[in-house]
């Protein structure tokens, strides 16, 4: 069959890349961020369109035209930003409705209703389930004849799909052709989960502020003298309380000196090598943003840009940028942290192929042998 996919909110191409690895052709990716153009077009065999999805919802014919006339199965992927629903993205004084990206799933609903693709795939954080926009989206799918995967299948724990990070996601798969679902997770035993060491332990060591001469994306952010002292007094799996126990109170962050901040254990700590890494956020390269200190106590630094990408299951040679000075660490961190892990996207692609009875590729450059 001739299967064609269009990717809304395509970002750096994580979802599209994974679909292509599964054997699904991607024809176009839409995103309003111009920094997405280079990584998307260099790694995905598709055209990038810099467009705000809200504008497409008002004129969805632009999406419909991206599907080839001779396609046997049209797939619309639409992973709206998770920030309105993530507890990390707004303060206690704001609601998800206050967030500038809230409601984009409603724009996806409008596009789906117009284009009527055969298959719809979305991915978001678990908290999206509690929003009325999500409920209206699912209701619209069902009212328009789509079979939607069950909630148990939607609830994804990424290590079970071979992704070496404690990432939890909500994946909706819907089809007009009949029941559809993600494949059963291949790694259901905790002892089988991929680890941080397996994903990044082979990379050559670098120091904070150093760029590896053979791989410009393998670079660590500079650390202040206090942060260098902090990480040197931190073992993998420990947290800031070890400083308190050792009488190193000068290393405590201001938030940890308050009762309200004592429950935040992750910042300024090191990840554990033989467990999945923490969820890779857009700030994974910042030592103080979570448990993003390198597990190797001979490397006193946060994760490099490359390490974050590998933990997201991008291939090591993924081409993220053309001119480093025009992109920089913060933009690449945002693109990598916001991406759908390519390995998860590939499993979604395998689910689509299985759904229509196509042969799933026996080998892959992304998904490990089950």
Three-state DSSP state, 73: strand
Inter-residue contact 71 to 6 (CB < 8 Å): no
Q: Supply 181's token pair.
A: 């679902």
CA distance 337 to 281: 5
Phi-psi region at 255: left, alpha or beta (left = phi > 0; alpha = psi -120 to 50): alpha
Residue of 145, 161, 183 whose CA lies nearest to 355: 183
Distance CA 163, CA 112 (A): 29
Helices (H) and strands (E) in the chain, counts: 13, 8
The answer to whether the Cα torsion of 278, 280, 285, 290 is positive or negative is negative
Q: CA 215, CA 237: separation in Å to the nearest integer?
A: 28
What's the N-to-C CA distance of the chain in angstroms? 25
Cα separation, 282 vs 336, in Å, equals: 7
**Interatomic CA distance for residues 166 and 186, integer angstroms:** 16
What value, to the nearest 5°, has the Cα angle with vertex 259 and ends 255 and 264? Answer: 55
- According to DSSP, the residues that pair with 293 across neighbouring strands are 270, 302
Distance between CA atoms of residues 51 and 201, nearest Å = 38
134, 290, 201, 345: CA torsion to nearest 10: 10
Q: Whole-angstrom Cα distance, residue 362 to residue 364?
A: 7
Active site residues per annotation: 82
φ, ψ dihedrals at 90, nearest 5°: -150, 160
What Rg do the C-alpha atoms of the chain give, in angstroms? 21
C-beta separation of 160 from 185 below 8 A: yes
């Amino acid at each position: 069959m001739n299967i064609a996919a269009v990717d809304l909110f395509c970002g750096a191409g994580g979802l599209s890349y994974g679909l292509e690895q599964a054997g699904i052709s991607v024809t176009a990716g839409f995103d309003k961020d111009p920094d997405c153009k280079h990584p998307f077009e260099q790694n995905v065999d598709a055209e990038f369109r810099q467009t705000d999805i809200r504008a497409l919802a008002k004129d969805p014919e632009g999406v419909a035209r991206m599907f080839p006339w001779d396609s046997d199965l049209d797939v619309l992927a639409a992973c709206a930003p998770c920030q309105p629903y993530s507890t990390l993205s707004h303060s206690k004084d704001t609601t998800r409705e206050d967030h500038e990206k809230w409601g984009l799933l409603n724009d996806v609903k409008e596009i789906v209703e117009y284009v009527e693709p055969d298959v719809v795939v979305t991915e978001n954080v678990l908290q999206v389930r509690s929003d009325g926009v999500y409920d209206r989206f699912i209701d619209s799918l069902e009212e328009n004849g789509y079979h939607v995967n069950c909630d148990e299948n939607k609830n994804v724990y990424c290590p079970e799909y071979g992704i070496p990070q404690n990432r939890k996601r909500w994946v909706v798969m819907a089809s007009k052709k009949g029941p559809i679902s993600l494949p059963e997770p291949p790694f259901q035993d905790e002892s089988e989960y991929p680890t941080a060491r397996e994903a990044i332990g082979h990379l050559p060591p670098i120091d904070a502020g150093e760029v590896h001469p053979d791989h410009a994306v393998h670079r660590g952010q500079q650390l202040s003298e206090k942060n260098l002292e902090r990480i040197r007094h931190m073992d993998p799996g420990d947290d800031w309380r070890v400083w308190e126990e050792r009488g190193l109170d000068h290393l405590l962050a201001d938030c940890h000196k308050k009762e309200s901040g004592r429950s935040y254990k992750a910042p300024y700590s090191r990840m554990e090598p033989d467990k999945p890494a923490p969820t890779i956020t857009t700030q994974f390269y910042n030592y103080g943003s979570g448990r993003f200190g390198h597990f190797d106590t001979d490397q006193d630094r946060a994760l490099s840009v490359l390490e974050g990408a590998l933990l997201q299951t991008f291939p090591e040679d993924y081409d993220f940028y053309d001119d480093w000075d025009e992109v920089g660490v913060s933009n690449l961190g945002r693109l990598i942290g916001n991406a759908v892990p390519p390995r998860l996207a590939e499993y979604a692609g395998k689910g689509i192929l299985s759904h229509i009875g196509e042969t799933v590729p026996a080998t892959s450059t992304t998904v490990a042998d089950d």
